[in-house]
Amino acid sequence: MVMQVTVPQKVGECPGGKRRTEQATTRRAVIVPAMMGAAASTALAACVPAAPQGPAGADRKTRPFVALEYWTFMPTETRVPARKELFPEFEAQFNTRIETNDALGGWEEKIQASWAAGVLPDLIDPNRPSSLNDWAQRGMFEPVDRVLAALGRDDFYEPARVAVTSGGKLYGVPYIGFPQILYYRKDWYQRRGLKDPPKTWDDLLQNAQALHGVSPDGQEVAGFAGFFDKSQGWLLWQDFVGPNGGETFDRQGKLHVNTPNVLEALVLIDRLVPLMQAGAATAGYGANNGPFTQGKLAHHISSSSLAHALANSAPELAPHIGAIPIPQGPRGKGDRGGYNGIAYLCYTTLSKYKDRCEEFLKWFFSKEIHLRLFAGIDRGLLPMRNSVGKSAEYLNYPHLQAVKTIVAAGVQAQPIATLIAEDHGPNPLAFNLWAADCHVNMTKSLYLRQAAPRQALDTGEACMRGAIQTRS
Got the DSSP string for 296-328?
SBSEEEEETTHHHHHHHH-TTTGGGEEEEPPPP
Collapsed DSSP state (helix, strand, coil) of residue 48: coil
Q: Which residues of 317-326 are buried (b: 16+ CB within 10 A; e: fewer)?
A: ebeebbbbbb
Taking 60 as the threshold, does the pLDDT of residue 109 lie above it? yes
Q: How far is CA 202 from the centre of its chain?
A: 29
For 182, phi and psi rounded to 5 degrees? -95, 125
Given a contact cutoff of 8 angstroms between Cβ atoms, the answer to whether 120 and 352 are in contact is no
Taking 70 as the threshold, does the pLDDT of residue 35 lie above it? no
Q: What pLDDT shows up at residue 378? A: 85
Higher-pLDDT residue of 62 and 162 is 162
Taking 60 as the threshold, does the pLDDT of residue 10 lie above it? no
Angle among Cα 17, 18, 23 to the nearest 5 degrees reads: 145
Q: How far is CA 101 from the centre of its chain?
A: 20
Amino acid residing at 394: Y
For the chain, the 3-state helix, strand and coil shares in percent, each to the nearest 5, are: 45, 20, 35
Task: Please check whether the two domains, 2-10+61-177+342-402 and 179-339+427-471, share a CATH topology.
Answer: yes
Taking 80 as the threshold, does the pLDDT of residue 157 lie above it? yes
Taking 50 as the threshold, does the pLDDT of residue 218 lie above it? yes
Q: In this structure, is the dihedral angle defined by the CA atoms of residues 79, 84, 89 and 90, taken in order, positive or negative?
A: positive
Given a contact cutoff of 8 angstroms between Cβ atoms, the answer to whether 160 and 144 are in contact is no
Q: What pLDDT shows up at residue 95? A: 96
Structure letter (DSSP) for residue 280 = G
Q: What pLDDT shows up at residue 137? A: 93
CB atoms closer than 10 angstroms to residue 334 = 10
Given a contact cutoff of 8 angstroms between Cβ atoms, the answer to whether 353 and 371 are in contact is no
For 382, phi and psi rounded to 5 degrees? -105, 150
CA distance 287 to 68: 37
For 10, phi and psi rounded to 5 degrees? -80, 110
Higher-pLDDT residue of 320 and 25 is 320
pLDDT tens string 164-209: 999 999 999 999 999 999 999 999 999 999 999 999 999 999 999 9
Report how far apart, in Å, the C-alpha atoms of 131 and of each of 84, 112, 471 are.
27, 11, 18
Q: What mean pLDDT is predicted for residues 332-342?
A: 96
Q: What mean pLDDT is predicted for residues 67-86?
A: 91
Taking 50 as the threshold, does the pLDDT of residue 291 lie above it? yes
Collapsed DSSP state (helix, strand, coil) of residue 181: strand
Amino acid residing at 117: A
Given a contact cutoff of 8 angstroms between Cβ atoms, the answer to whether 434 and 248 are in contact is no
Taking 50 as the threshold, does the pLDDT of residue 235 lie above it? yes
Q: Would you list the DSSP string of 107-175?
A: HHHHHHHHHHHT---SEEE-SSHHHHHHHHHTT-B---HHHHHHH-GGGB-HHHHHHTEETTEE-SEEE
Given a contact cutoff of 8 angstroms between Cβ atoms, the answer to whether 395 and 383 are in contact is no
Q: Give the domain ranges of the chain.
A: 2-10+61-177+342-402, 179-339+427-471
Taking 80 as the threshold, does the pLDDT of residue 79 lie above it? yes
Q: What mean pLDDT is predicted for residues 429-443?
A: 95
Given a contact cutoff of 8 angstroms between Cβ atoms, the answer to whether 467 and 429 are in contact is yes
Q: What pLDDT shows up at residue 112? A: 85
Q: What pLDDT shows up at residue 376? A: 83
CATH of 179-339+427-471, one of 3.40.190.10, 3.30.1700.10, 3.90.1150.10, 3.40.50.300: 3.40.190.10
Q: What pLDDT shows up at residue 77? A: 85
What residues form DSSP beta bridges with 184?
A: 299, 322
Q: Where are the alpha helices (DSSP H) in 346-436?
A: 354-364, 367-373, 386-389, 392-395, 404-413, 429-435
Angle among Cα 414, 420, 424 to the nearest 5 degrees reads: 75
Question: How far is the first Cα of the chain from the last one, in angstroms, to the nearest whole number?
Answer: 26
Collapsed DSSP state (helix, strand, coil) of residue 459: helix
Q: What mean pLDDT is predicted for residues 214-224?
A: 96
Taking 90 as the threshold, does the pLDDT of residue 234 lie above it? yes
Cis peptide before 15 (omega within 30 of 0): yes
Taking 70 as the threshold, does the pLDDT of residue 53 lie above it? no
Q: Which of 208, 204, 331, 200 is nearest to 262 (CA)?
A: 331
Going by pLDDT thresholds of 50, 70 and 90, the confidence category of residue 352 is very high
Taking 80 as the threshold, does the pLDDT of residue 441 lie above it? yes
- Write down the pTM of the prediction: 0.86
Q: What pLDDT shows up at residue 103? A: 74
Going by pLDDT thresholds of 50, 70 and 90, the confidence category of residue 287 is very high
Could you tell me whether strands 165-166 and 2-9 are parallel, antiparallel, or unpaired per DSSP bridges? unpaired
Taking 80 as the threshold, does the pLDDT of residue 13 lie above it? no
Going by pLDDT thresholds of 50, 70 and 90, the confidence category of residue 392 is very high
Q: What mean pLDDT is predicted for residues 389-407?
A: 95
Q: Which CATH architecture has domain 2-10+61-177+342-402?
A: 3-Layer(aba) Sandwich (3.40)
